[in-house]
Amino acid sequence: MERADAVATSYAEQTGGSPDGVWAAPGRVNLIGEHTDYNDGFVLPFAIDREALVAVGRRADGQLRCWSRQEGTAPELAVADLAPGVVSGWSAYPLGVVWALREAGVAVPGLDVMVDSDVPVGGGLSSSAALEGAVALAVADLTDSTLSRTELALAGQRAENEVVGAPVGVMDQMAALLAQAGHAVFLDCRSLRAQAVPLDVAADDLALLLVDTRVTHAHATGEYGARRRSCEQAARVLGVPALRDVTPDQLDAAGSELDPVTRRRARHVVTENARVLATVELLRAGKIAQIGPMLSASHVSMRDDFEISCPELDTAVTATMAAGAVGARMTGGGFGGCALALVPTAAREELTAAVRAAFAAAGFRAPEVFGVTPTSGARRLR
């Protein structure tokens, strides 16, 4: 409860009163299923033990005031004036959610919002969706809204798309709102059906280790757009609504219709969807250690077919595997960010040292290496 006390104290310092409540929502890591979301495919994220907290209180005068212990004070605004284009800076995330919920029919009152998050910003762990998830649940609770958690996740996505102006999918918000402790969220990005899949790694004496390379290669955004266009082109040539509708065998048979590069891009997406489904089956059968080869095959596919890895990510994967990881892959959009390794708990320290040594030998900036535990989604703390 320490962190809940701290955010409530900061709230009191700014407003002179106590909040109506404190809510939290987590960041996330994607276990497997990369670049499948915009192809109507499957993803398998889990919530991590890093969270955004918000202390929120209603105001009678219809004004919105936001503070962040990390980012400072945001300009004040009336609920009635909220609209895309009106808010900029970090408060576009929380106030974007308030706007999206108002658009969804929620009678939003004036609010004071104090934010405190330990999800690192821009590190690929989705600090934005954590913040959106916490605010969405807070507003829903304070207004006795009947919106489902999926609808709250969609409000977060809409905030980010229309108020922040970032064309993101809904995976991160779904993880932040729907995750359960000890489970991953198996999400069908076409139907938005989400199912909890057991991921109790500790029970199998395994741990999930994250290697943050602390690099972001500058061409990432342009390459992301190019990959999306390749996937759309492949679907068009193959005559399907999205690559989700193609099996690996069908793609093999369609050989000559696609140019070699587009074909490799499509092969990543098609085989990655198959790997997510296989991973879900293994986890449901309690065979956690056996997902290792799926993770490693996913990395090879992103490195060679989708071509979105980089030397730092490849080094993280090679070094953890050489030191005894069960499986490892880059996670996130690519060209930097984090790699995820499934490792025997007993070998954690040794593995961490091996990764650091490999980065030093390659002349890379020292990585941050830390464990993550599958935790629960957004919740009220008090």
167 touches ligand ADP (CB under 6 A):
no
68 binding Mg ion? (CB under 5 A): no
CB–CB of 45/184 below 8 Å?
A: yes
Say if residues 103 and 152 touch (Cβ distance below 8 Å).
Answer: no
Beta bridge partners of 336: 216
State yes or no: is 172 an active-site residue: yes
Residue whose CB is less far from Mg ion, 91 or 126? 126
Exposure class string for 192-211: b at 16+ Cβ within 10 A, else e? eebeebbbebeeeebbbbbb
When binding is defined by CB under 6 A, the residue of 131, 321, 347, 381 that contacts ligand ADP is: 131
Q: Choose one: 76-84, 98-106, 127-135, 336-344; the region binding Mg ion (CB under 5 A).
A: 127-135
Q: What is the identity of the amino acid at 245?
A: D
Q: Does residue 96 contact residue 160 with C-beta atoms inside 8 Å?
A: yes
| Site membership for ligand ADP, residue 30 (CB under 6 A) | no
Q: 110 or 156: whose CB is closer to ligand ADP?
A: 156
The per-residue DSSP string of 250-271 comes to HHHHTGGGS-HHHHHHHHHHHH
User: Which residue's CB is nearer to ligand ADP, number 11 or number 93?
Assistant: 93
Site string for Mg ion, 315-354 (x = CB under 5 A): ----------------------------------------
CB of 44 to Mg ion, least distance (A): 18
Q: Does 273 bind Mg ion (CB under 5 A)?
A: no
CA 163 – CA 217 distance, rounded (Å): 26
- Contact flags string 68-87 toward ligand ADP, x per CB under 6 A: x-xx----------------
The 3-state secondary structure of 157-201, one letter per residue: HHHHHHHHCCCCCCHHHHHHHHCCCCEEEEEECCCCCEEEEECCH
Tell me if residue 70 falls in helix, strand or coil: coil
Tell me which residue of 265, 374, 283, 369 sits closest to 325, measured CA to CA: 369
Phi-psi region of 46 (alpha: psi -120 to 50; beta: other; left: phi over 0): beta
128 binds ligand ADP, rule: CB under 6 A: yes
- The number of residues that bind Mg ion (CB under 5 A) is 2
- For residue 290, the minimal CB distance to ligand ADP (Å) is 30
Query: Of the two residues 10 and 128, which places its CB atom closer to Mg ion in the complex?
Result: 128
Considering only residues 224-253, where is the footprint of ligand ADP by CB under 6 A?
none
Which one of the spans 28-36, 119-127, 239-247, 301-309 is the region binding ligand ADP (CB under 6 A)? 119-127
- 126 part of the interface to ligand ADP, by CB under 6 A: yes
Which of ligand ADP, Mg ion, none lies near 301, with the C-beta cut-off 5 to 8 A by kind?
Answer: none
How many whole angstroms from its chain centre is CA 136? 16
Residue 270: CA count within 13 A, CB half-sphere: 24
Residue 90 binding partner per list ligand ADP, Mg ion, none, with a CB distance cut-off of 5 to 8 Å that depends on partner kind: ligand ADP
Scanning 18-26, 95-103, 126-134, 267-275 for contacts with Mg ion by CB under 5 A, the matching segment is 126-134
Q: How far is the CB of 172 from ligand ADP (least distance, A)?
A: 7
For ligand ADP, which residue of 11, 90, 99, 186 counts as binding (CB under 6 A)? Answer: 90
355 within 8 A of 316, measured Cβ to Cβ? yes
Residue 2 contacts by C-beta under 8 Å, 6 or more apart in sequence?
none
Q: Which two tokens stand for residue 10?
A: 């900061």
Q: Which residue has the tokens 């690099």?
A: 215
List the structure tokens of 104.
Answer: 């969804």
Chain-centroid distance of CA 362 in Å reads 29
| Residue 128 in contact with Mg ion, rule: CB under 5 A | yes
**Residues 369/356, Cβ–Cβ less than 8 Å:** yes
Q: Does 121 bind ligand ADP (CB under 6 A)?
A: yes
Should residue 279 be labelled a site residue for ligand ADP when binding is judged by CB under 6 A? no
What's the token pair of residue 154?
A: 């969609």
Query: Judged by CB, which is closer to ligand ADP: 69, or 379?
Result: 69
**323: which DSSP letter?**
T
Nearest to ligand ADP of 134, 347 (CB atom): 134
**Interface ranges with ligand ADP (CB under 6 A):** 68, 70-71, 90, 93, 115, 117, 121-124, 126-128, 131
Q: Which residues participate in catalysis according to the annotation?
A: 172
